[in-house]
Structure 1
């Protein structure tokens, strides 16, 4: 499998490449960036790191099977022929972008980058595209509008929230967060929707009626900005994001391999990614995080769950927020 990371010299892009080298060492990675020198330097450094991963104690991968890590520029995209594209390019963040309102300004800053990258991608055959740049749901739909590839190709990363809500629930329930599953639907932002009705611990349903729903959501929304305040906006939540992005990539790989690992992972439950909707949950002409199964072409299936009334109402609020921004930028389906 060949993964092209657009914005590969960035903090997140380079960390994703490093994480793939350790957890999915057979994957070929291209770090695509307008900063050719930085992309080359990260690619070479990660290549050197792969030496230690492949020669570590335990199960290893031989040199004949190890993936390559290389640098490239956006002009090279048509020749790379990737199996999956990670879009992580973004305008620089202001130094004071350490509160939850910071995401609101990112749409206008990053729209022109999306338009330029869409032109670079147009010569490619339809390819799964995983958007990591904020605001994710809006940019997923904008790529869909511009490229007009099948909607199953478009994915928006939102698994960091799944890890954060597991941390909050694990603390409340007195269990290890790694055993907690609670899907997070809706918007990657203020209108995230914790699906507490489907919360599980070790695969078993748990009672969540006594939990403070608003408090849990506030923790999920606040913690990335608490991290940014301590480490700086350039660092962001690089570790959880790179691990989550790698999980998506490995799930695509597993879903495309007959008899391979379960693409859903150890907990055996779907996870939620943003993708364009066409009637699912009563919404269309926008992208929201919904439960999906993946295969080599991107979204294989969207699950339509029966949600609690409160969850369905919150999902509608998230849809309205995304729709308002898409109307403002004149995305497909909202042209005036």
Structure 2
């Protein structure tokens, strides 16, 4: 039996992109080839050489700097390229800048004959994932954003610290936008398999503080070290691993909503099942009335921004 080759194209070789490649090589031996595309070709070439050095201790993966045309036979195209938000800049300012960049990325990948799955982590990720699907014309299930996977990881860490339990015992999701209008789905959260709200004596103030701490976590990291990248890079690697290994895992990602949670024609952070086909199913939790209001509000804010974007 001939082993099927797996190839990943990475667009954007900044801190997130290079950390993603490093994590992927350590956790996914099924990857036979990683091609790095970046405007700074010296950087992508050097990173490819540096990453090659770990392959004798991991798996015999081919790693090289390349071009968009290399997407033609790739299984997954990961997009981490973009510019960060500057002080005084509005969300729409950032969107319009990154939409211009996105256009220069998505079209040449599609033109290469790519027929795999797009995975987007550039910010604002829900907006850019929605626009990647529109620009590419790909089926919605074959375009995925990292969504609230990072936010959810942060919530799990903070809950574990608060309750003094191993983080593996916590299962809690942040939903909605990866940003200011996100919210914690505490009613659906569990600790050691038991509903969080009945298994603990956390108060409403505790929940509000935890939700706020999740939103501030990225800023706190940036204040100390200038950027955040390990968490989202690991989330990216986990998503790509699930695709390549056909794992049917559930993650809170930017997924296309077509009526679920009362939202249509928009990608938002919700739990969804991922496998080699992309997004197999969006899981619709029975949210409380307050949580449902927060989801609708998050969608409305995203749509407001999208309506101002010119493709």
TM-score, length-scaled by structure 2 = 0.89
Displacement of 1:125 after TM fit? 4.1
Q: List runs of 5+ in structure 1 lacking aligned partners.
A: 55-60, 256-261, 265-269, 332-336
Q: Please give the root-mean-square deviation of Cα atoms over the aligned residues, in Å.
A: 2.0
The answer to whether 1:210 aligns with 2:210 is no
Distance in 2 between the 1:327 and 1:102 partners?
A: 15
Offset at residue 277 of structure 1 (A): 1.8
CA deviations over 1:210-267 (Å, ceiling 9, x no partner)? 24332112111111111111111xxx22111111111111121232xxxxxx543xxx
Aligned match of 1:44 in 42, 49, 55?
A: 49
Q: How does 1:54-93 map to 2 (within 5 A)?
A: 54=58, 61=59, 66-74=60-68, 76-79=69-72, 81-91=73-83
Equivalent pair of 2:242/2:276 in contact (CA under 8 Å) = no
Equivalent residue for 2:127, pick from 125, 128, 138: 138
Alpha-carbon deviations, 1:122-150, whole Å to 9, x = none?
Answer: 22344211110000011111111111110
Gaps of 5+ in 2: 1-5
| 8 Å CA contact retained: 1:144, 1:276 | no
Q: Deviations over 1:66-105 (max 9, x none)?
A: 222111123x2454x21011111112664x69xxx87664
Measured after TM superposition, the shift of residue 120 of structure 1 is 0.8
* SS of residue in 2 equivalent to 1:122: helix
Q: Corresponding residue for 2:35?
A: 30
Asked if the contact 2:75/2:115 (under 8 Å) is kept, the reply is: no
Q: Distance in 1 between matches of 2:115 and 2:179?
A: 28
Runs of 4+ in 1 over 4 A off after TM superposition: 101-105
Are positions 1:167 and 2:160 aligned together?
no
SS of residue in 1 equivalent to 2:232:
helix
- How many residues were matched structurally? 299
Closer/same/farther in 2, CA of residues 224 and 103 from structure 1, 3 Å limit: farther
Counterpart CA distance in 2 for 1:37 and 1:249 is: 26
Q: Which residue of the partner structure matches residue 120 of structure 1?
A: 108
For the residue of structure 2 that corresponds to 1:4, the secondary structure is: strand
* Partner residue in 1 for 2:22: 18
Q: 2:215 maps to which residue?
A: 221
Q: Does residue 311 in structure 1 map to residue 304 in structure 2?
A: no
The match for 1:251 is 242
Distance in 1 of aligned mates of 2:253 and 2:84 = 25
State the distance in 1 between where 2:51 and 2:305 align. 38
Measured in 1, the distance between the counterparts of 2:116 and 2:301 equals 28
In 1, distance between residues paired with 2:180 and 2:85? 19
8 Å Cα contact 2:9/2:71 also seen in 1: no
Which secondary structure does the structure 2 equivalent of 1:315 belong to?
A: helix
**Are 1:240 and 2:231 an aligned pair?**
yes
Aligned match of 2:3: none
Distance apart, 1:200 and its partner CA: 1.7
Equivalence for 1:108: 96
